[in-house]
Amino acid sequence: MDITRNIARFSWSSCIMNKKTWIVILLFVHILLCDCNASQPKIKVNSRQSCMNGTNTGQQRVQVEFSSQIVENEFIVAFKGYYSNSARAGFISAALREAGVTSWHLLPRHNPATDYPSDFELIKIGSHIADGIDALENHFNIRQVTPQKLVTRTLKYINETDEDRAEGNEVDKEDLQSHKGPPCNESDKADPCWTQKYHSSRPRTHRGPSSLAGAFWFSEVRHKNRKLLRAIPRQITTALQAEVLWGMGYTGAGIKVAIFDTGLSVDHPHFKSGRVKDRTNWTNEKTLDDGLGHGTFVAGVISSHRECMGFAPDADLYIFRVFTNNQVSYTSWFLDAFNYAILKKINVLNLSIGGPDFMDHPFVDKVWELTANKVIMVSAIGNDGPLYGTLNNPADQMDVIGVGGINFEHQIARFSSRGMTTWELPGGYGRVKPDIVTYGSAVRGSAIKGGCRSLSGTSVASPVVAGAVSLLASAVINRANVINPASMKQALMASARRLPGVNMFEQGHGRLDLVKAYQILRSYKPQASLSPSYIDLTECPYMWPYCSQPIYYGMIPAIVNITILNGMGVTGKIVDKPLWQPFTPQYGNHIEIAFSYSNTLWPWSGYLAVAISVSKSAASWEGIAQGQVTLTIESPAEDGEDTPRTSIVKLPVKVKVIPTPPRGKRVLWDQYHNLRYPPGYFPRDNLRMKNDPLDWNGDHIHTNFKDMYQHLRTSGYFVEVLGSPFTCFDAKQYGTLLVVDSEEEFFPEEIVKLKRDIANGLSVVVFADWYNVSVMRKVKFYDENTRQWWMPDTGGANIPALNDLLAPLGMAFSDQVYEGDFTFGDHEMYYASGTSIARFPTDGLLITESLKNQGYEVMKGESVTVDSVPILGLHEPGKGSGRVVLYGDSNCLDNSHLQKECFWLLDALLEYSSHGNVPPIFTERKSSLTFTSTELPERMEGNHLYRYSKVLESHLGTPQSRPLPACPHLSFSQPSPLNISAPTNLYKHNKLLSIGLEPPLPFINNPGVDGALPGIRDAPGSLNWDLGPGANMHSSENTNVFPVIAFLGTALVLVFLVNHMYKSKSKPRRKKPRIKKIHHALYGSPSRVPGV
Amino acid sequence: MLNSRILRKRWVLAVIFLFSLAYFLINIYRQSEKLVSQEDYIDRKRLLVQPDAINWEAVHFTQSNSSKSCRNSVQGKQLIADERGYVCNREEVDSEGCCRTTIPSTKRYTCDSCTNTGCCSIYEHCISCCLQPDKQPLLRKILSKTADTFHNLFASVTDHFELCLAKCRTSSQSVQHENSYRDPKAKYCYGDKPPDLQPVAIQ
């Protein structure tokens, strides 16, 4: 506790628990180990539980349902360790004999695992069941006895309806209840721990040191969950068929692997002697050893050679200790450690760490520098799923292999971060990440003191790939000159197996296939490739969200951000310009394409953003249009070549075009005025979410407003994203402008234009959020990474800026912060830290509610309920004009920390804004509140919003607006039509060019490549993990036995000596003669010796 | 009472005592070994590369008589610095990794983007500048009083070129508030001073 307090100090709360959880949020990096327990709905026995498959597939999704019931008289006896069949039977019969239970028998299990020691047994008891169970539970080798359950699972497709959301709520409620924890230690009356009873539905405790104990070890709950899944293989290497490569004699030899983690002890039994080449410490703790177990586990997955196998047992390990035992780490430690890694000419580097700050330039630059020096970086994508927009740096960089997690059922693990990158917002569109997924849930690896344990998290998935990459690199070590970060990534992507029903922003290119990647690498020829390798905007669900909305004339162009990987050299460029070739027979001329791309592809990668738009000729056309983009990539000559290396890449394009929808159906989402972390401290929109203080998911309809977007699509609205100022769109095209939770200032020109647009029929719907200067000062905190106090630059939303925008309409929001549950019609609502309306035209429709004054609560610690808080206002300024709607809270639309959604409200408001129909639910509740003139909120004195703003001038003193930037102008590429047709299905396993024909694999013993998991079966002879039952248990006991014996022995000797002395004291006479005798012998005179 | 009799026998006690003693001795020895390794660790941190242990000899061979290949700075986006101190465009690197000296744009020992404080805005210029023979005294001085964090790094450096490669990289000395550069304009330094502190970058 003391140590964690040193890491960060927060002024807000006196609650110890909260201090712990706040801490790591702002540390730049954190270890990506998952605490799945907290984020998964708990499964109850006998309850019907439904698990959602990872993705929303547009209209449908797969639902896995299972029900379980207890089987009578059958019990699972779980032992404290792994024992052989006979030993288990012995224990049970001994226990039951004592209890006098005679009619019982073991239920045989027929599976390959029966030959191996197990830690449980199935038993059927005929009579005296209660006695029998008691006896079993009292046996010292038995951990617990549980009733046998029959689990029935069904798969079905269901439509994406309200059911989904209802379920979400259920989970949230459960979460709330389960977290209404113990009262906090309230030491300061003015600063009470008032948030303690609420927790997020998506706790991110894995980031905090406090979570470590809970997150690290598999807890009971997790075990219960696990039983419902398929069997978990004992060896992760078997699940990926590493034996195939081992069988060919490749074991990672000659490859230098760096592990940036919590260190490793020097004599861990799982590593071959001499393989740990170097251990260095870059932290301020003077040790090289792992005190957490994270580094040991990661190193084990990469190169353990006993018990739980790693992929490359003969690779040279370079251990970099960059995390303290308290999970503290600084950018500067990483910089120095990375420099050392470059100097040591590391081949593969695993980073099971990540953080949200992709604007940490020194770090990002250094990662580029590393890959530019041919270090293959593998990094974990993050454990912040299932929310979108949660990718972690450095895994989200183009030159890094970003790894997501799946479970052994080949579903995306719930914790795995996903969604596009948010670097490119607001003007552009994010890149596809993760690059690849692999097993990251319940993977077995090395424990800190020998033995094995299971862990989950993308932290685990990353070393799986890093180990596989090391093994691959050693298998093609004779072709070392073509192996580089790009070619390795290309091979992994091209060989990956796509998971069905999961979109590319969750799975990237799919699941790692080690053997196939090897085949590709063996014949790899340096070249460039694209990720994704084609654009098919009709393919669902893989190309979600593109496939969820067709394109039409007049739409803000759909942007696909393609990553170019260039295996030919660290630097390269696109020759001339990319060429757009519409296919004439397939109506390619109906679409127009514009490009923007990296001038230099460095290191090994670059981007190609493809903006797709519909030509005017197709304004009322409906159909599918196809074409292709061709680009030539060039890199300087290498290896004695005379001419530069070139590679021609083709990018097929396929889009669905529809006639332009009517104005009322078109909704414009304002992205331009949403700011997020990084770089600034933009606080959460829900003040109760103290363990997650930053607004960092991008606030985009395809990140944390994904469900809202999906709902609008289902309701028939077409949603476009405005990444430029209000002056840059044609208001006549749109029914409604949605301004949700905006943090940015507004240009004076925007304010003028919006007023005019409203008069001309554009409706505006604003979802604001809290803003109060005192509260903002209260939520400042000390960030230990930057060693600075962090003061928010706005509240949840920038109310003063919004008020400037709304002033011409006679509307304004207040600086009050309200919170509370209420009912609206028959809908349950939760107002999570919202503002209220301070001014509204008298002829407008205003709705009030009784809410708690949360601002007062934060400041004074007392809860006060306020009646008639105006939260919703509807107004139509004039005949023929658009309508304006204000609502004070945006949390019910936002997936992050969503507690009760209000998509129905958005529907109703859009019905009003687009068509002018006031739903009766509003008219019924019309309030006759009149405003007394209130002071409007002011901007906080000395705020630094100008640092992050696109609108404010960067200078000290009173902030001023910059000159209005020019609107982005797309210059569409000159088409060069081709009279050919493309196949209807663009997705094929994208082949990389190879040298010559692919030679067959000399040795393959991989039965059932894709079908059943090769799982539980082990390759005979190749492994020596079966050291006998409970090997790890025994070894740990052995170490404890010696000191005890030694201590007892010494104690015994001591007791004897004491006893002896006591005896000699109590019987002095026995000694006397002897002394006398000696004396006599020495001096010969007995007379002068005094008696004792 | 056979047991207690046996226990009273002196030789039994002696055996037990000796065993225990041996165990404790071994244990203490092991611990001291651990302590030693701990000291070792600290020592290693303190151990400096003696400036004389480094090969300071400049690489003098030129294009004409080059049968030898060059090490170079590998990573550059546009430029490459080779171990002889030449800086050239990537396209002008020959198959041996050396800069083609005949090209007019190739420069040796250039300090083009470097300031007086020993910091440069281009990494390759920093290397080239650092390789100047007259920079040796400065580098010797740096080596002889390196801060703690750089021991691991400089302990592995073998010659002048490697030292310049390592020294010019951005490091813990280059940042303020961890996540921003002290001077984003001139961040690659061969000198003994960190980059000049600039106000936090405005984005």
pTM for this one? 0.76
Interface mutation vs chain A, best among B75, B89, B171, B190, most A CBs within 10 Å:
B75
Give the count of Cβ contacts less than 8 A between chain A and B.
141
* CA distance readout (Å), A602 to A397, A485, A606: 12, 12, 6
What three-state secondary structure class fits A412?
A: strand
Given B76, B93, B178, which is nearest A785 (Cβ)?
B178
| Bond preceding residue A1029 cis, omega within 30 of 0 | no
For testing the chain A interface, which of B6, B178, B189, B200 should be mutated: the one with the most A CBs within 10 Å?
B178
The DSSP secondary structure of chain B, one letter per residue, reads: -HHHHHHHSHHHHHHHHHHHHHHHHHHHHHHHHHHHHHHHHHHHHH----GGGSB-PPP---STT--S---B----SSEEEBTTSEEEEGGGB-TTS-B-TTSTT-EES--TTB-TTSEESSHHHHHHHHTSGGGHHHHHHHHHT--GGGHHHHHT--BHHHHHHHHHS--GGGEETTTEES-SSS-EE-SSSPPPP-PPPP-
Q: Point out the residues of A that are catalytic.
A: 261, 294, 459
Q: Given pLDDT bands bounded at 50, 70 and 90, which one contains residue B51?
A: low
Q: b or e along B2-19 (b: 16 or more beta carbons within 10 Å of the residue's beta carbon)?
A: eeeeeeeeeeebeebbeb
How far B25 CA sits from the closest chain A CA (Å)?
11
pLDDT of residue B64: 43
State the pLDDT at residue A212: 27
How far, in Å, CA of A263 to CA of A288, rounded?
6
Complex confidence, ipTM: 0.81
Mean pLDDT of B40-51: 47
CA distance A722 to A674: 11
A475 pLDDT above the threshold of 70: yes
SS3 string of A561-613?
Answer: EEEEEECCCCCEEEEEEEEEEEEHHHCHHHEEEEEEECCCECCCEEEEEEEEE
pLDDT computed for residue A691 by the predictor:
79
Nearest CA in chain B to A1039: B27
Mean pLDDT of chain B: 81
Whether the Cβ atoms of residue A726 and residue A720 lie closer than 8 Å to each other = no
Handedness of CA A979, A984, A987, A991 (dihedral sign): negative
- Selecting from B13, B16, B74 the residue whose C-beta is nearest the C-beta of A372 gives B74
Mean pLDDT score, A220-235: 49
Average pLDDT over residues A213-238: 49
Burial class (CB in 10 A: 0-12, 13-18, 19+), A941: exposed
Give the residue from chain B lying closest to A783, CA to CA: B177
* CA distance linking residue A36 with residue A17, whole number of Å: 19
A659-672 mean pLDDT: 96
Q: How is residue A1019 written in tokens?
A: 């390759």
Taking the Cβ of residue B95 and every Cβ of chain A, the question of whether any pair is shorter than 8 Å is answered with: yes
Helix axes A706-714, A903-915, angle to 10 degrees: 50
What pLDDT does B200 receive? 66
Indicate whether A931 pLDDT > 60: yes
pLDDT score at A146: 78
Q: Which two tokens stand for residue B28?
A: 């203490």
Question: Does A1049 contact B38 at a Cβ distance shorter than 8 Å?
Answer: no
Residue A105: what pLDDT?
Answer: 81
Residue with tokens 């209220």, as numbered in its chain: A836
**Measured between beta carbons, which residues in chain B are less than 8 angstroms from residue A1043?**
23, 27
- Other Cβ atoms closer than 10 A to A1048: 12
pLDDT at residue A2 in the model = 33
pLDDT at A1058 over 60: yes
Amino acid at site A1042: F
A478 contact partners, CB below 8 Å, separation of at least 6: none
Please compute the mean of the pLDDT values over residues A307-312 and round it to a whole number: 94
Q: Backbone dihedral region of A861: left (phi > 0), alpha (psi from -120 to 50 degrees) or beta?
A: left
Chain B contact for A369, CB < 8 A?
A: yes
Predicted local confidence at residue A75, as pLDDT: 81
Cα–Cα distance between A44 and A825 in angstroms, integer?
33
- Single out the residue of A588, A556, A619 nearest to residue A970, CA to CA: A556
Interval A464-472 mean pLDDT: 97
Percentage of the residues of chain B whose pLDDT score is greater than 90: 40
What pLDDT, in 10s, does the model give residues A5-52?
232 323 333 333 333 333 333 334 456 654 433 333 333 323 333 333
Tens digit of each residue's pLDDT (9 = 90 or more) over A85-114: 888 888 888 888 877 777 888 877 777 666
A 723-762 residues with CB < 8 A to B: none
Q: Which of residues 19-38 of B touch A (CB under 8 A)?
A: 19-20, 23-24, 27, 37-38
Residues in CB range of B178: below 8 A, 6 or more apart: A28, A330, A331, A332, A360, A362, A785, A786, A787
Residue with tokens 């990084």: A678
pLDDT confidence of A1069, banded at 50, 70, 90?
low
Nearest to B178 among A28, A336, A1053 (CB): A28
Mean pLDDT of A1013-1025: 31
Question: pLDDT confidence of B4, banded at 50, 70, 90?
Answer: low
A1046: nearest CB among B20, B75, B179: B20
**Distance (Å, whole) CA A853 – CA A833:** 9
Q: Give me the mean pLDDT over the A108-130 stretch.
A: 75
* Nearest in space to A326 (alpha carbons), one of A37, A38, A30, A35: A30
Contact assignment for B169 to A570 by CB distance below 8 Å: no
Q: Inter-chain contact A362–B181, Cβ cutoff 8 Å?
A: yes
More confident residue, A1003 or A385: A385
Mean pLDDT of A718-728: 96
Average the pLDDT over A431-452 and give the result. 94
Instruction: Please report which confidence band the pLDDT of residue A382 belongs to, taking 50, 70 and 90 as the band edges.
Output: very high
Average pLDDT over residues A543-572: 96
- State the angle between helix axes of B10-46 and A1031-1066 in degrees (0 to 180), rounded to the nearest 10: 120
Please give the C-alpha separations between residue A202 and each of A12, A18, A37, A898, in angstroms, as whole numbers: 22, 16, 11, 9
**Partner-chain residue, chosen from A335, A369, A637, that has the shortest CB–CB distance to B75:** A369
Contacts of B13 in chain A (CB under 8 A): 1052-1053, 1056
CA distance linking residue A212 with residue A858, whole number of Å: 29
Q: What is the CB neighbour count within 10 angstroms for residue A709?
A: 23
Tell me the average pLDDT of chain A.
80
Residue B155 near chain A (CB below 8 Å) = no
- Classify strands A558-566 and A528-531 as parallel, antiparallel or unpaired: antiparallel
Rounded to a whole number of angstroms, the distance from the CA of A571 to the nearest CA of chain B is: 6
Burial label for A71, CB within 10 Å (0-12, 13-18, 19+), is middle
Nearest to A336 among B75, B172, B179 (CB): B172
Judged by a CB distance cut-off of 8 A, whether residue B10 touches chain A is no
Q: Per DSSP, what are the bridge partners of residue A142?
A: A79
Q: Could you tell me if A530 and A432 are in contact, meaning their C-beta atoms sit under 8 angstroms apart? A: no
At A1 the pLDDT is 32
SS3 A766: strand
* Predicted local distance difference test score (pLDDT) of residue A227: 36
Is A1050's CB within 8 Å of B8's CB? Answer: no
Q: Which helix (H) or strand (E) holds A628?
A: strand A623-635
Reply yes or no on whether the pLDDT at B24 is more than 90.
Answer: no
Collect all residues with Cβ–Cβ distance below 8 Å to B50 and sequence separation of at least 6.
B143, B144
Q: Within chain B, what is the greatest distance between any pair of CA atoms?
A: 102
Residue A604: list chain B partners with CB under 8 A.
Answer: none
Helix, strand, coil shares, percent, chain A, to 5: 30, 25, 45
Range from A919-933, A1002-1016, B99-113, B164-178 carrying the lowest mean pLDDT? A1002-1016
Query: Position A930: which residue type?
Result: T
In a mutational test of the B interface, the residue from A267, A328, A330, A343 whose CB has the highest number of chain B CBs within 10 Å is A343
- For range A1007-1013, the mean pLDDT: 37
